[in-house]
Structure formats: structure tokens, C-alpha cells
Amino acid sequence: MNLSKATQFFLNIRSNKIFELFVVTVIIISALLVGVKTYEISPTLHIITVYLDFFITAFFIAEITIRWLGEDKKSNFFKSAWNIFDTVIVAVSLIPIENTDMALIARLVRVFRVLRMISFIPELRILLTSLIKALPQLGYVMLLMFIIFYIYAAVGSTLFEDINPTLWGDITIALLTLFRVMTFEDWTDVMYETMEVYPLSWIFYLTFIFFTAFAFLNMVIGIVVNVMEEEHAKARAEIQEEQDAERFAKKDDKLNQILAEIRTLKQQINDK
């Protein structure tokens, strides 16, 4: 078997839907295994989980190897951030988890194996990619939100400190209180308490909720949705390009076949 046939063989395995489904199943089992280890389990079940952990680690090594061997140009494998992420997770999974100083780190890393599901499900990849690409725009919105938070925290700490130092004692505590108000966690109790001293303090809370919970959070959602639509459009365009390329390739094959037949007929005529 030459190199191209070997590469095609592993590429077919990597692209096989049954293989992908099996990988996702193993990832889910890996996540459940981490959860099982948080309980008090019998020695027999503990031995089973250890063997399962060995199997999962070995399978992930084999799966990464198959994906690498299925790459036409092996150096391109590590140009993908997802491939690097998967490789790092698998490599750290090789750290011994029993009776070592790295045991806690190794167990924590095993929890992140479930993130490998993102690299196998295109819809999840689009969601995460959209969120990452939206971060620069979200940064400005979050900065503006922090400014509003800071102004309201300063005002609240100045006005309401004597009413309830636990909630408004200083600006950092006031920021936490305002976060509670923004998430509507018993915010009316906070408002009614200050209204006993400042009857018009409801204006403070309602304007703050309007700016943060309604205006800014809707801006965040709008930015993320807009980027997601762009990513979906790009994904559809890439799929269309691949389909067009396949159609052109088939047409070229048919044209080459017809030309070969014409050349054969000409050769037969010339021979006669």
C-alpha cells in the first residue's frame, strides 16, 4: 500500500459517520466517567472506571493518529486550532492520575475532554466561532456597561450607604448589589428598603435596569446573532463551493473520457 492509498484509507475512516458517532459516544462516556468519580464508589466499580479511563485515553490517541494520518499534508494538521486543542487534551490525559503531584491537574483536564465534542459537531463549532469573533465588538459594549455600572455604584454607595452598609458600604459592594438588581434577584427588596428613606429612589433602579438588562444585553444578543448569521452564510458558501468543485471535477472526468474515446477512434481510423 503506497502513501496516497494509506492516506485515503485513514481519510475514509476519519470521514465515516459511524466513526464520528462512536467518537462522540466515547466523549460522552468520558464526561460521565468524570462525574461518577465524584461519588463514593465501591472498589469493584473503581477498578472498572480505571480500566475505562485507560481505554478512553488509548482510543483518543488512536483517533488523533488516524486524523493525522488521514491528512494529505501532515504539517497542515497543526494549522487547525481544534486539532491543536484535541492534541493537547489527549497529551495531558497521559499524565498519571494516581498518587502524584499532578493528579488534581490531570483529573481537571479530563473534564475538558467533553469540549472535544465541539470539534465534531459543525453547529457547535459555528456557535463557538461566532462567539469568539464577536468578542471585539462585545468588548466595547461591556466597557460601556461597566461605565454605567460604575456611575450607578458610586451614586448608590453615596446615597444608600447609611441605609444598608451591607449592600452599599463601598463601591465594590455596590457593584455586586447592582449586578443582583440587573439579574432581578430580589431586587424589589433592595428598592423598597431605600424608598423608605428616598421615595423617588425607584427612578435610580428603573433607569439602571433599562440601561443594563434591556438596552445593553439586547445589544450583546444582537451582535452575537449577527456574527452567527455571517458564519452560517460563510459555511453555506463553502459547502456550495465544494459541491461546485465536485460537479466540475465530474464534468472534467467525462470530458477527458470522451476525448480519450475520440483519440482511440482516430487511431483506429488511421490504422485502417
**pLDDT-based confidence at residue 270 (cuts at 50, 70, 90):** low
> Residue 246's pLDDT band (boundaries 50, 70, 90)?
low
Query: What amino acid occupies position 88?
Result: V
With b for 16 or more beta-carbon neighbours within 10 A and e for fewer, the 83-94 pattern comes to beebbebbebbe
What pLDDT digit, counting tens, does each position of 72-83 carry?
777 778 877 778
Domains 3-120 and 125-258 in one fold: no
pTM of the model: 0.58
Domain 3-120 adopts which CATH fold?
Answer: Four Helix Bundle (Hemerythrin (Met), subunit A) (1.20.120)
Lowest-confidence range among 35-49, 140-154, 196-210? 35-49
Confidence at 109, pLDDT banded by 50, 70, 90: low
Q: Count of residues for the chain?
A: 272
Q: Take residue 219 and report the three cell numbers written for it.
A: 445589544
pLDDT tens figures, 33-45: 878 877 888 888 8
Q: Is the pLDDT of residue 65 over 70?
A: yes
Check residue 91 and give its pLDDT.
Answer: 79
The pLDDT value recorded for residue 174 is: 92
Residue 71 to residue 69: CA distance in whole angstroms:
5
Residue 204's pLDDT is: 93
- The single-letter code of the amino acid at 117 is M
Cβ neighbour number for residue 177 with a 10 Å cutoff: 22
Q: Assign 1 a pLDDT band (cuts: 50, 70, 90).
A: very low
> Which cell goes with 59?
482510543
The 8-class DSSP code of residue 211 comes to I
pLDDT band at residue 194 using 50, 70 and 90 as cut-offs: very high
Confidence of residue 179 (pLDDT cuts 50, 70, 90): very high
Which grid cell sits at 102? 499532578
Query: Can you give the residue ranges of every domain in the chain?
Result: 3-120, 125-258
Sequence-distant (6+) residues with CB within 8 A of 12 are 70
User: For every residue of 68-125, which 3-state class applies, written as one string?
Assistant: HHCCCCHHHHHHCHHHHHHHHHHHHHCCCCCCCCCHHHHHHHHHHHHHHHHHHCHHHH
Q: Please give the CATH topology (third level) of the domain spanning 125-258.
A: Helix Hairpins (1.10.287)
Checking 226-230 for CB contacts under 8 A at 24+ apart, the result is 226/134, 227/130, 227/131, 227/133, 227/134, 227/137, 228/126, 228/127, 228/130, 230/130
pLDDT above 90 covers a percentage of the chain that reads 17
